[in-house]
């Protein structure tokens, strides 16, 4: 079995700025007040993923999960270390990423497909299937700026899953949308997993990660906290313990389109 992803001692540093305008920065410096800080979103992280392997990526908000996916996807480069990948990469890292609010859903479909590397012939062959999966009806002709977050998720996911790839990256793809759409997405994600593609799946849902992945990596404040069997990762995060508050239903959380 060949190696699909190599993450080798990567560190990614960002700058946190406390002041935005030139005037605020000038006043702060005159007073001797710090205007910025540097912090590591990821620090000395290493792991390998074999071709066809499905791994979960979990951790609290701000632990570095989305940053890691962007490094794997090539959107960012690490400040230290290296990320090596084999084959074509596709997926949904951010809902509606690359969408132009003033363009229609149809126009954004074509634009997003091109950004993800889909050629003209491939798009023509898959266009009807993408539109059917998104199931937006006549709304797809409206400007995306008028779409709800759930509708943008429908369109973004519909395009991403139709891109032929060797590696599929999924960041909280089931966090937005109504229950029927999430069920449809999960079914398609299982098909992607079973097709032999390498899958990196980010979610806060223990049940969905356990269903999708046998191995899970846990990030803690930018560092590798755990790498192993998914049930053990869920226990490591204490996600297998009952919540203090009663879990809200989908309707109470407002997860509708």
Q: Does residue 213 surpass a pLDDT of 90?
A: yes
Q: Does residue 156 surpass a pLDDT of 70?
A: yes
89 assigned to some structural domain: yes
d(CA 226, CA 87) in angstroms, rounded, equals 26
Q: Which residues contact 152 (CB under 8 A, 6 or more apart)?
A: 95, 96, 99, 144
Token readout for 99 is 């969408």
Kindly report the backbone phi and psi dihedral angles of residue 50, in degrees, each rounded to the nearest multiple of 5, phi listed first.
-80, 155
d(CA 222, CA 241) in angstroms, rounded, equals 24
Tell me what pLDDT residue 143 has.
Answer: 94
User: What are the pLDDT digits (tens) for 107-117?
Assistant: 999 998 888 88
Tell me what pLDDT residue 20 has.
Answer: 64
25 assigned to some structural domain: no
Cα–Cα separations (whole angstroms), residue 232 to 21, 117, 209, 211, 221: 47, 37, 12, 14, 19
Listed range (33-37, 97-101, 169-173, 234-238) with the worst mean pLDDT: 33-37
d(CA 249, CA 114) in angstroms, rounded, equals 37
pLDDT, the chain, mean? 84
In this structure, the number of other CB atoms found within 10 A of the CB of residue 97 comes to 14
Tell me what pLDDT residue 115 has.
Answer: 82
Token readout for 113 is 């497909």
257 assigned to some structural domain: no
d(CA 255, CA 239) in angstroms, rounded, equals 21
User: What are the pLDDT digits (tens) for 122-134?
Assistant: 999 999 999 999 8
CATH for 126: 3.40.50.300
**Average pLDDT score over residue span 67-81:** 92
180 assigned to some structural domain: yes
Helices and strands, counts by H and E, the chain = 9, 9
29 assigned to some structural domain: no
How would residue 37 be classed by pLDDT, with cut points 50, 70 and 90?
A: confident
**Average pLDDT score over residue span 125-153:** 90
Q: How many domains does the chain fold into?
A: 1
Kindly report the backbone phi and psi dihedral angles of residue 219, in degrees, each rounded to the nearest multiple of 5, phi listed first.
-100, 140
44 assigned to some structural domain: yes
159 assigned to some structural domain: yes
Tell me what pLDDT residue 94 has.
Answer: 65
User: What are the pLDDT digits (tens) for 3-34?
Assistant: 999 999 999 998 766 656 766 667 666 777 66
Q: Does residue 185 surpass a pLDDT of 50?
A: yes
CA R_g for the chain: 20
Using DSSP's 3-state secondary structure scheme, residue 58 falls into strand
30 assigned to some structural domain: no
Domain that holds residue 60: 3-18+38-241
User: What are the pLDDT digits (tens) for 47-70?
Assistant: 999 999 999 999 998 899 989 999
């Amino acid at each position: 079995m060949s190696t699909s992803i190599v993450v080798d001692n990567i560190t990614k540093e960002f700058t946190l700025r406390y002041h935005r305008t030139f005037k605020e920065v000038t006043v702060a410096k005159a007073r001797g007040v710090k205007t910025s800080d540097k912090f590591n979103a990821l620090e000395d992280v290493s792991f390998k993923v074999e071709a066809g392997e499905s791994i979960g990526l979990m951790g609290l908000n701000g632990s570095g999960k989305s940053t890691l996916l962007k490094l794997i996807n090539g959107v960012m480069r690490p400040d230290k270390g290296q990320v090596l990948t084999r084959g074509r990469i596709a997926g949904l890292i951010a809902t509606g990423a690359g969408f132009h609010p003033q363009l229609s859903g149809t126009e954004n479909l074509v634009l997003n497909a091109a950004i993800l590397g889909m050629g003209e012939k491939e798009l023509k062959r898959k266009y009807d299937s993408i539109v059917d999966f998104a199931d937006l009806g006549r709304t797809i002709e409206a400007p995306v700026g008028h779409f709800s977050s759930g509708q943008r998720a429908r369109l973004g996911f519909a395009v991403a899953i139709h891109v032929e790839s060797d590696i599929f990256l999924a960041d909280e793809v089931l966090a937005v949308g109504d229950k029927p759409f999430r069920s449809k997405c999960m079914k398609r994600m299982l098909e992607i997993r079973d097709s032999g593609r390498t899958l990196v799946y980010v979610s806060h849902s223990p049940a969905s990660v356990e269903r999708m992945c046998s191995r899970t990596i846990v990030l803690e404040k930018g560092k590798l906290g755990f790498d192993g069997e998914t049930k053990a990762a869920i226990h490591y995060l204490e996600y297998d313990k009952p919540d203090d508050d009663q879990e809200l239903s989908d309707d109470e959380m407002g997860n509708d389109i």
